[in-house]
Structure 1
Amino acid sequence: MERPRILIVGGGFAGLECARRLERKLSPSEAEITLVTPFSYQLYLPLLPHVAAGVLTPQSVAVSLRRSLRRTHIVPGGAIGVDPASRVCVVRKVTDEVIAQKYDILVLAPGSVTRTFDIPGLTDYARGMKTLAEAAYVRDHVIAQLDLASATLDQRERESRLQFVVVGGGYAGTETAACLQRLTTAAARRYPRLDAGQIKWHLIDIAPKLMPELGDPLGAAALEVLRERGIEVSLGVSVAEVGAETVKFTDGRVLPCRTLIWTAGVAASPLIGTLDAETVRGRLAVTAEMRVPQFEGVFALGDAAAVPDLAKGDGAVCPPTAQHSARQGRAVADNVIASLHNQPLEPYYHKDLGLVVDLGGKDAVSKPIGVELRGVPAQLVARGYHLMAMRTNVAKLRVGANWLMNATAGDDFVRIGFLARQPARLQDFEYTDAYLSRDQVRAHAQSLLAKG
């Protein structure tokens, strides 16, 4: 009898945890497990600001899938369409070859992409912080601005190169602004023509509060830390227009600026749009057991799925966080196994264990299991949490060693020349234009199946 084919799309927190649990709980004879992912690593996304600031090397937050998984077949590519009627996932491999990946059970965990709006110049001039390549690029770009500002005698050019804008007052934006501001302040001492006072960082968000999930006391504490460092925080403000050398805010201000880092939220992977299925604010609508009700044998989870948050109730859905994604991955694996054994599925229920925000150095705010912490205790909790959440001992060792080295030896300010002369548009890093329409998916699926 042929083994059931379990296909997992996405190698992030949700996909990796699902595959790991399936390997542990199913024998090789019970199912064939395949994972489709463009990269051979799970990106530990919460630490990308540390990569951008050079505190961690890119390799440190790229957790090897082949160290984490033992018998899962990994297809190096991205899913660009799903045809549930044929039970086929259309995959574009990293070589651009398009193949049909058949399945009996499909687990959709394609994650999310940076959410953008129809703002003039945004997609051409904004830098993202969603991928490892973007974090490495942002680091190179920021240091390049310091190098060029130091080298020029044109005061207007220098001013525009030394103004940095981060859009998004959530965790990603706040940590990015905090970590990069520390980097540029330390770097200024190495440039004879620059002074730290010339470097201006701006953090803006349309929301009235910074990181409201933290609650007012910790949100206010984080805001105080940022402002004490000289970061100008503007709330209730967004971007009206972005140019090559200027940024215009919705309050009318126009800043000379050549660096805008966009972290204003995420949207579900465009893969979701290739299915003819119900969505909730762009995320795939699923049951509490994370089944897609329209299709037999299809589960969805993580950032791409609107999983009911039973702990909150009142129709709430789980926020797109690493904490939920990892736990949903394990829960979906259990439900996949239950479906194979014709057993009842279990609803996903998880109460949030707390929040950690690393502001770099000795600064942090954390709220583990409802306990509010600030400063060094919060930093210890934040970094301890990250180390525990990483899936391999090699990754834990690399991150811990990097933190120790940075604490003792300080920052370095080396550019590696990453995409030095290439545009850095959001779609270039996140491949948002790679997906097929529903009609194209069906046509590709039938054509590929006919070819065998």
Structure 2
Amino acid sequence: MAAVKTKPTRIVIVGGGYVGMYTALGLQSKLRSREASVTVIDPQPHMTYQPFLPEAAAGSIEPRHVVVPLRRVLKRCHVLTGRVTNIKHANKSLTVEALDGHVEQVDYDVLVVAPGSIARTLPIPGLAEQGIAVKTIGEAIFLRNHVLDRLDKAASTLDPEQRRKLLSFVVIGGGFAGIETLAELEDMTRYALRYYENLKPEDLNWVLIEATGRVMPEVSAKMGVYTVKQLEKRGIKVFLDTRVKTMEGGHFILDDGTEFDADTVIWTAGVKANPMLKNTDLPLDERGRVRCTATMQVEGVADAWAAGDCSAVPDLSRTQEDPNATCVPNAQHAVRQAKLLAKNIIAVLRGREPKQYFHKYLGSVAGLGLYKGVADVYGIKVKGVAAWFMHRSYHVSMMPTFNRKLRVLIDWTMALFLRREVVSLGQINDPKADFVRAANS
């Protein structure tokens, strides 16, 4: 007589981002009662929809509407807020450092690895001290307050050199994140200057630095050229095929000899797999990503799956031209991989074969500020307001949960009738400063 299964299969998902949350959503909607338990572990109690971070930083969307509370949407899952520090899949266990500092071991039967990626930095002098990334909602809020605070300080200083530095903003990295962040924030600062009597739009100095010869490689070269021309029409300086040698103390020296000072450095020069993966016994490729099959199963390892930015999943739409092609780290792949991943895990639990992931790249859309955008979809190239509308329509459709879709739509609708809010809440970065001064007086 076959043994009767008495305990649910323990599924642990490392990461609560696109892959983690969407996989958990798929599992909780399809698993039978007591078939399996699902635990999601992430340092943050929410999932961040990163394509909306530039608009959150520019004030077009309320920051809280860009995140999805994990406990609210994953009602049939366990959510553990903590940081996974290592995984020993041979023992089917992992170590978690909880928010209060205690460390605990979590055992599992099936593992899903989806910790995502972090900003890819370079050994540039001054980067660690000066740079601001745009990967989290906290960074987006900080960046908004920081940029607006520079305007306040520039309006109050009597030193023209200091004013020039305060009003100089540098974005390093010409991918989607860099271009959209630059365009949205430049739009915001240009609008905000109407409230500053002694500052003029020509006082602003926005700079884009890209190490390669083009921006946004995901779109056609023609659309990339169009994007650069549109940015330059707005007075934005664009440096292509250029690298930063140093930015110590906010003094920039580029490899073409250009020198200038800037008080704001926004770093969007790519991502890399979460370094936590080095503390696992899972197979990694040369870029530190988990090696996977086209079904998103970890190569040569039973009961382990991976997807998203941290994984090297074969891109079957390109393997004929490049046998080693893997899916690029973007939201388009992550969301689609997660939906299939949930189905594949359930299929294997029920003794069926998993399906291979195949998604042909459909194209890209990008916002270049309010009412401006570019789109390259199914080979059709669109510019201006139409592309901006396509950009917003696509991303609101991909935003998880009806609750968040509606909130984002309300934010956009209100923005059509009410003026943009351009107030700095700089005190949020050090809210106890006044209290400490009062206590010490």
Once residues 263 and 284 of structure 2 are traced to their aligned partners in structure 1, the CA distance between those partners, rounded to angstroms, is 40
The answer as to 2:407 corresponding to 1:398 is yes
What residue number does 1:198 align with? Answer: 203
Secondary structure of residue in 1 paired with 2:44: coil
Query: Contact 1:83/1:89 (CA < 8 Å) preserved in 2?
Result: yes
1:239 maps to which of 241, 244, 264: 244
The answer as to 2:25 corresponding to 1:16 is no
Q: So what's the TM-score if we normalise by structure 2?
A: 0.93
The answer as to 2:305 corresponding to 1:299 is yes
2:96 maps to which of 91, 96, 116: 91
2:45 maps to which of 40, 48, 57: 40
What residue number does 1:366 align with? Answer: 375
Secondary structure of residue in 2 paired with 1:290: coil
Q: So what's the TM-score if we normalise by structure 1?
A: 0.91
- Any residues of structure 2 matched to 1:205-224 within 5 Å, and which? 205-224=210-229
Q: How far off is 1:310 after superposition?
A: 0.2
Once residues 271 and 207 of structure 1 are traced to their aligned partners in structure 2, the CA distance between those partners, rounded to angstroms, is 29
2:338 maps to which of 300, 322, 329: 329
For residues 397-423 of structure 1, the C-alpha deviation after alignment (integer angstroms, 9 at most, x for no partner) is 11111112223222222122255359x
Query: Contact 1:67/1:392 (CA < 8 Å) preserved in 2?
Result: no
Query: Contact 1:280/1:306 (CA < 8 Å) preserved in 2?
Result: no
Q: How far off is 1:342 after superposition?
A: 2.3
What residue number does 1:311 align with? Answer: 317
Once residues 260 and 418 of structure 1 are traced to their aligned partners in structure 2, the CA distance between those partners, rounded to angstroms, is 20
The answer as to 2:142 corresponding to 1:137 is yes
Q: What RMSD in Å do the two structures reach over aligned CA positions?
A: 1.4
For residues 109-166 of structure 1, the C-alpha deviation after alignment (integer angstroms, 9 at most, x for no partner) is 1000000011111112101101110010011110111100110001111111000000
2:76 maps to which of 57, 71, 74: 71
Query: Contact 2:149/2:426 (CA < 8 Å) preserved in 1?
Result: no
Query: Contact 1:143/1:413 (CA < 8 Å) preserved in 2?
Result: yes
What residue number does 2:420 align with? Answer: 411
61-70 or 263-272, larger mean C-alpha shift: 61-70
Secondary structure of residue in 2 paired with 1:244: helix
What residue number does 2:288 align with? Answer: 282
What residue number does 2:3 align with? Answer: none
Query: Contact 2:12/2:40 (CA < 8 Å) preserved in 1?
Result: yes
What residue number does 2:187 align with? Answer: 182
2:266 maps to which of 246, 254, 261: 261
What residue number does 1:101 align with? Answer: 106
Once residues 257 and 107 of structure 2 are traced to their aligned partners in structure 1, the CA distance between those partners, rounded to angstroms, is 53
User: Match for 1:221: what amino acid?
Assistant: Y
What residue number does 1:386 align with? Answer: 395
Once residues 286 and 339 of structure 2 are traced to their aligned partners in structure 1, the CA distance between those partners, rounded to angstroms, is 23
2:429 maps to which of 420, 427, 451: 420
User: Match for 1:416: what amino acid?
Assistant: L
Once residues 400 and 195 of structure 1 are traced to their aligned partners in structure 2, the CA distance between those partners, rounded to angstroms, is 32
Q: How far off is 1:28 after superposition?
A: 2.6
Query: Contact 1:13/1:42 (CA < 8 Å) preserved in 2?
Result: yes
The answer as to 2:345 corresponding to 1:351 is no
Query: Contact 1:169/1:264 (CA < 8 Å) preserved in 2?
Result: yes
Query: Contact 1:63/1:390 (CA < 8 Å) preserved in 2?
Result: no
Once residues 339 and 271 of structure 1 are traced to their aligned partners in structure 2, the CA distance between those partners, rounded to angstroms, is 27
In the alignment, structure 2 segments of 5+ residues that lack a partner are: 1-5, 432-441
What residue number does 1:431 align with? Answer: none
Query: Contact 2:371/2:389 (CA < 8 Å) preserved in 1?
Result: no
Once residues 383 and 31 of structure 1 are traced to their aligned partners in structure 2, the CA distance between those partners, rounded to angstroms, is 37
User: Match for 2:290: what amino acid?
Assistant: L
Secondary structure of residue in 2 paired with 1:78: strand
What residue number does 2:122 align with? Answer: 117
- Change beyond 3 A, Cα 1:289–1:140: same
What residue number does 1:167 align with? Answer: 172
For residues 395-450 of structure 1, the C-alpha deviation after alignment (integer angstroms, 9 at most, x for no partner) is 1111111112223222222122255359xxxxxxxxxxxxxxxxxxxxxxxxxxxx
Secondary structure of residue in 2 paired with 1:49: helix
197-206 or 400-409, larger mean C-alpha shift: 400-409
User: Match for 2:372: what amino acid?
Assistant: D
What residue number does 1:432 align with? Answer: none
For residues 188-219 of structure 1, the C-alpha deviation after alignment (integer angstroms, 9 at most, x for no partner) is 11111111101110011001011122102211
Query: Contact 1:7/1:35 (CA < 8 Å) preserved in 2?
Result: yes
Secondary structure of residue in 1 paired with 2:90: coil
Q: How far off is 1:300 after superposition?
A: 0.9
Q: How far off is 1:70 after superposition?
A: 2.2
Q: How far off is 1:221 after superposition?
A: 1.7
Identity of matched residues, %: 39
Q: How far off is 1:40 after superposition?
A: 2.3
Q: How far off is 1:278 after superposition?
A: 2.7
Q: How far off is 1:60 after superposition?
A: 1.2
Q: How far off is 1:269 after superposition?
A: 0.6
Secondary structure of residue in 1 paired with 2:91: coil
- Change beyond 3 A, Cα 1:177–1:336: same
Once residues 427 and 403 of structure 2 are traced to their aligned partners in structure 1, the CA distance between those partners, rounded to angstroms, is 25
In the alignment, structure 1 segments of 5+ residues that lack a partner are: 423-452
Query: Contact 2:275/2:288 (CA < 8 Å) preserved in 1?
Result: no
